[in-house]
Amino acid sequence: MTNFLLGAVAGALFACVGTIAAVRQPEIQTRLGLRPAVMLAAAPVPAPRAEVACPPAADAKKVGTVEMLLSPRRFWWIAP
């Protein structure tokens, strides 16, 4: 009898926790009627933008040089 009672209480707790976790999801709240459905208005389609090609930087550093590893500036400056 004690096992049945403890099993029933544990099952009820599992059901409560599962229900609370499920009801916290917005889709389920909408399905249950707790939250009104969001109606999306038809938005006008924006015109495509013209792509502007950026020129490469004149003093762009190369990746993988010895200067990167053994530079004295590396120990004193913090680069973003």
**What pLDDT does residue 12 have?**
96
Beta-strand runs (E) in 1-80: none
Contact call for residues 26 and 35 (beta carbons, < 8 A): yes
- State both tokens at 75: 């120990």
Q: Tens digits of per-residue pLDDT, 32-47?
A: 887 777 665 666 777 7
Report the alpha-carbon distance of residue 30 to residue 77 in Å, rounded: 53
Q: Tens digits of per-residue pLDDT, 57-69?
A: 666 566 666 666 6
